[in-house]
Every structure is written in C-alpha cells, then in structure tokens.
Amino acid sequence: MKETADFLYQAFKARDTRFDGRVFVGISSTKIYCRPVCHARQAKKENCTFFSSAAEAEQAGYRPCLLCRPELAPGNSITDASSALAHKAARLMEEHCGDGQNVEELAARLGCSGRHLRRVFMEEYHVTPVQYLQTCRLLLAKNLLTDTELSVLEVAMASGFGSLRRLNDLFKKKYNLSPTALRKNADRGKPQTNAVTVGLGYHPPYRWEEVLDFLSLRAIPGVELVAGGAYMRTVRLRGRGGENFCGWIRVENRPQKNMLSVTLSDTLIHVLPQTLARVKHLFDLYCEPGTIYETLQSINEIHPDICRPGIRVPGCFEPFEMAVRAVLGQQISVKAAGTLAGKLARTYGTPIETGIENLACTFPAAEDIAALHDNIEEHLGVLGVIASRSRCILALAEAVKNGQIELKGCAEPKEEMEKLMAIKGIGSWTAKYIAMRTMSWPDAFLETDMGIKHALPGRTPKELLELSEKWRPWRSYATMCLWNMEV
C-alpha cells in the first residue's frame, strides 16, 4: 500500500468513505476482511493488515465480512491507477467472469502479451489475474446467495463456476462455509418473483437526480424510460455460447447505503455479470468524487456553485446504441434525435414483453443495421433519417461488426476516435462524445459544443480548450458541470 499503516488505520477508525473499495482491512484475530466503512466493533491496530483488493485479502487467507459485505464495495477510477492496463483487465474480468475467458484471450483483447498482463496486474493488485477472477466469481456468488432467491445451482452457473461442485469446493476452501450455510445466515422471507435484485456500491456523494435528468432527456422511446426516480430499459446480451438473452432492468438509488439497487428480469441470469458491469459503466460507479472535485473546484471561480461534489459522467449500457444515437443527434435537437432513435428501435430492434408500459423493444445491434447494406438510404429514409446520415450509420455498424472499431471501456480512446472520424459524417465533437460515454474517457472536452459556449461566453474554441487544461484529467466531468449549469 502507498499509504502508511498508521494513516490507513486512522481512516479505518473514522470509517472514511473515501477509502471504500480502495482498501480492505484484514483482522488477524478473526481472519475476516472488511471494508474501511464497516460498523463492526473496531479491531486493534496490531491486528489489522491492509490490502489493495479483496482478491489480495482472500489470497492471504481472510474471509469476507458478512456485515459490511466486501462484494458491495465500489471500484476505482482507471485514471487514478498506476496501471490503466491492469484496471481495464480487472473490469473485463468482472464483466466476463462467467464466460470462461483465459488470461491469454484477455491479454489479446487488450493488445498485449499474457506475460506482460500478469506482470502489471501483479504490480497493481498483488495477485495474479486468475486469483482475481476467482475472487470476482466468489463475491458475485456471495452477493446472489445473500440477496436473491436463486437456487444454489443457478448461483453457481450465473457466477461462472460451471458446476455446483466447483462452487461448493471453493466456498469451503476460501470461506470455511458452504453456500447453503451462508444462505441460512442471510435474511430470508423475500417474496418469490420473476426478477432478481442485486446491490452495487458507489463512492458518495452521488448526484443521482442530475444523472436521471441527463438520461431522461436522451432516453430512446420503447428502449429506455425514466420514471418514479428510477431508470429502466430493455436488454439484449449475447451469452458465452453465442445465444441472445433478452429482458429488462430497473435501477434505483439507495443513498442511505451508498448503493444502487439493480432489479433485472430472471431471463438475464445467464448474462448477469455482463449486465451488472454495464450498469456500473452507465452510472459511472468507478468514479471517485473527492479526487475529481479537488481538481475541478476552480471552475467555481468562473461562476459560483457550477462544480459540486458527486458529479458523474453517464456512460452507456449498449455502446453501439449510444454511438448511433450520437450520430442521429447531429444538427438536430436532443428530442428529435430521440424520436428518430425510437423509430429505428421499433422497426429494426427485437420486440420483447417486459410488463412495463412503454418498454417494448431492444435497440438493433450492429449486425442488424449492417444487414440493410443494399438499401440503407431507403430503409432509414422512411423513418426520417437523411441519406448522408444513413450512410454514416451503416459505415459505423459495419466497422463495429467487423471489429475495426472498439466502443468499450477497454479501448484506447484516441485511437478509436481517429477511426471514428475516418467515417464520413463523424466529426471531432461526435467522436469525443462517443469516447466519453462508451469508452469511459474521463478527459473529453467539447470546446465547440453550444452548451459549453453558453456556459462560458465570450471565448473562442481555442480559448476554451486552453482554459480546460487546468481541469485535466477530468475534463469530461468539467463538461458535465457546464452542461448542468445550462439545464
């Protein structure tokens, strides 16, 4: 750990939320490891060992606390990491822990050798990628056993163990407890439904209403809905065998627990890790608001109270959907772009039954749009999309389908932006916006954006870009602060 043990123990005593997810505390007297915000009786300093990840604590022989539940701890920002590569690998493992992907395949996806990935991962997390992946699966299983009514077999399969025997063996080996015994200790009496609810932690504060307002304004009719303080949407994800799984999710804030409550239809159990990882990305749950506020508070010298702690940059759930929505939004209003996207979804998406009013279809995948190749202008023209934009959407779909453009968090934003701008009809603003929302790029600044110009009047784009230098590497968050000022 970079910080001293004395400093970390003081943070542990104070239950400092800034360290939640960054530090885990192993208690030698109980062989339990906790989050620094745990409300159990505090251990003596000499009994505490500090770890940088839950996986490191488990490899040292500690079991997760049943009170503070380390599986609910928020993650860390990529930019703050000493190795962005290691953090990207960790996120991919969290998302695909049920897919059976090995380290060599993971390294290839990240553009490096398996040996190099193992080295940087060990330096960053003090465990091997395989050990980290094992902990991801164990903690996901623990979360599902505690909070859902899924059978133990369903939990084993959803968590990527492949068999009930494997789950039982690892639980007993690592936690000295069987999955069935853990479930008996959890609160029971939950009603049986056709949905599953799981918690995802975040670093407080979280400006939830601002995120909902942003998503509500840009929601695609039939696909997304913001109502009653919750975000809802349809989902279509591909499983490990290539089959598609469709369903719906509902996300609500639980500020008293610093947690989002994610309810999903039971049809998505087979792609549960993917679903939860995408919710984390959509709602920017890796954000560390204290660190960002320290850098951006100088914005308040321009206008008081523009920057407030807890700002988030909404990501996306489905990258291709978001990219198409961005292309449709060029030179027309946000509302008009949403209307066009809704028509596209209803016409070429997949109809599904959700039981939720106004949620009736998924957005078409890149393959679905690419299949319209021969008559793209005619197909999209009848929906109200102009010919040049139809051709742009087709080119984007083909590039994504063929793997020529990567629109996910593991991508290198600057490389992918160059590829995006090589498509006729995609300029700098659109490429930056897509990178900000699909690739988790924290340093996008849209100096030509009208909202930015209205918030910071009297400056040329060049002057705005120069002004933004002081807000690196969090200029995406600065952009959100300035946009919120205009709302």
Whether residue 439 is predicted with pLDDT greater than 90 in this model: the reply is yes
Q: Report if residue 300 sits inside a domain.
A: no
The CATH code of the domain that includes 9 is: 3.40.10.10
The CATH code of the domain that includes 166 is: 1.10.10.60
Strands 32-34 and 63-64: parallel
Whether residue 100 is predicted with pLDDT greater than 80 in this model: the reply is no
Whether residue 157 is predicted with pLDDT greater than 80 in this model: the reply is yes
Q: Report if residue 252 sits inside a domain.
A: yes
Examine the fold and report which residue of 239, 271, 287 is the final residue of a domain before the chain moves on: 287
Q: Report if residue 78 sits inside a domain.
A: no
Same domain, 324 and 416: yes
Nearest residue to 201 (alpha-carbon basis) of 83, 312, 283, 80:
283
State residue 172 phi and psi, 5-degree precision: -70, -35
Same domain, 26 and 164: no
User: How much is the average pLDDT of 105-111?
Assistant: 84
Whether residue 97 is predicted with pLDDT greater than 90 in this model: the reply is no
Kindly report, residue by residue over 159-203, the tens digit of the pLDDT.
989 899 999 999 999 999 899 988 876 655 555 578 999 999 999
Kindly report, residue by residue over 345-368, the tens digit of the pLDDT.
999 999 999 999 999 999 999 999
Q: Report if residue 395 sits inside a domain.
A: yes
Kindly report, residue by residue over 308-331, the tens digit of the pLDDT.
999 999 999 999 999 999 999 998
Look at residue 222 in the predicted model and tell me its pLDDT: 97
Whether residue 260 is predicted with pLDDT greater than 90 in this model: the reply is yes
**Mean pLDDT over the full length of the chain:** 91
The CATH code of the domain that includes 394 is: 1.10.340.30
Look at residue 192 in the predicted model and tell me its pLDDT: 59
DSSP bridge partners of 246: 236
Same domain, 406 and 276: no
Look at residue 486 in the predicted model and tell me its pLDDT: 61
Examine the fold and report which residue of 72, 102, 120 is the final residue of a domain before the chain moves on: 72
CB 477 within 8 A of CB 292: yes
The CATH code of the domain that includes 237 is: 3.30.310.20
Q: What is the tally of structural domains in the chain? A: 4
Same domain, 364 and 476: yes
User: What's the one-letter identity of residue 478?
Assistant: A
Same domain, 333 and 434: yes
Cβ count within 10 A of residue 450: 10
Same domain, 352 and 462: yes
Same domain, 271 and 373: no
Percent of the chain with pLDDT over 70: 95
Look at residue 109 in the predicted model and tell me its pLDDT: 83
The least confident of 6-15, 40-49, 106-115, 426-435 is 106-115
User: How much is the average pLDDT of 209-221?
Assistant: 97
Q: Which structural domain, as residue segments, surrounds residue 453?
A: 319-486
Instruction: Tell me how far CA of residue 275 lies from CA of 69, 96, 176, 470, in angstroms.
Output: 20, 10, 29, 36
Whether residue 73 is predicted with pLDDT greater than 80 in this model: the reply is yes
Nearest residue to 344 (alpha-carbon basis) of 358, 365, 359:
365
Look at residue 82 in the predicted model and tell me its pLDDT: 42
Kindly report, residue by residue over 270-287, the tens digit of the pLDDT.
999 999 999 999 999 999
Look at residue 289 in the predicted model and tell me its pLDDT: 93
CA distance 336 to 146: 44
CA distance 176 to 405: 45
Q: Report if residue 292 sits inside a domain.
A: no
CB 389 within 8 A of CB 326: no
Whether residue 64 is predicted with pLDDT greater than 90 in this model: the reply is yes
CA distance 319 to 437: 8
User: How much is the average pLDDT of 443-460?
Assistant: 94
Same domain, 382 and 429: yes
Q: Report if residue 20 sits inside a domain.
A: yes
Q: Report if residue 299 sits inside a domain.
A: no
Same domain, 324 and 379: yes
Whether residue 338 is predicted with pLDDT greater than 90 in this model: the reply is yes
Look at residue 487 in the predicted model and tell me its pLDDT: 52
CA distance 176 to 172: 4
Same domain, 243 and 161: no
Same domain, 113 and 171: yes
Q: Report if residue 306 sits inside a domain.
A: no
Same domain, 456 and 349: yes
SS (H, E, C) the chain: CCCCHHHHHHHHHCCCHHHECCEEEEECCCCEEECCCCCCCCCCHHHEEEECCHHHHHHCCCEECCCCCHHHCCCCCCCCCCCHHHHHHHHHHHHCCCCCCCHHHHHHHCCCCHHHHHHHHHHHHCCCHHHHHHHHHHHHHHHHHHHCCCCHHHHHHHCCCCCHHHHHHHHHHHHCCCHHHHHHHCCCCCCCCCEEEEEEECCCCCCHHHHHHHHHHCCCCECEEEECCEEEEEEEEECCCCCEEEEEEEEEEEHHHCEEEEEEEHHHHHHHHHHHHHHHHHCCCCCCHHHHHHHHHHHHHCCCCCCCCCCCCCCCCCHHHHHHHHHHCCCCCHHHHHHHHHHHHHHHCEECCCCCCCECEECCCHHHHHCCHHHHHHHHHCCCCCHHHHHHHHHHHHHHHCCCCCCCCCCCHHHHHHHHHCCCCCCHHHHHHHHHHHCCCCCCCCCCCHHHHHHCCCCCHHHHHHHHHHHCCCHHHHHHHHHHHHC
Whether residue 81 is predicted with pLDDT greater than 70 in this model: the reply is no
Examine the fold and report which residue of 138, 158, 185 is the final residue of a domain before the chain moves on: 185
CA distance 96 to 243: 15
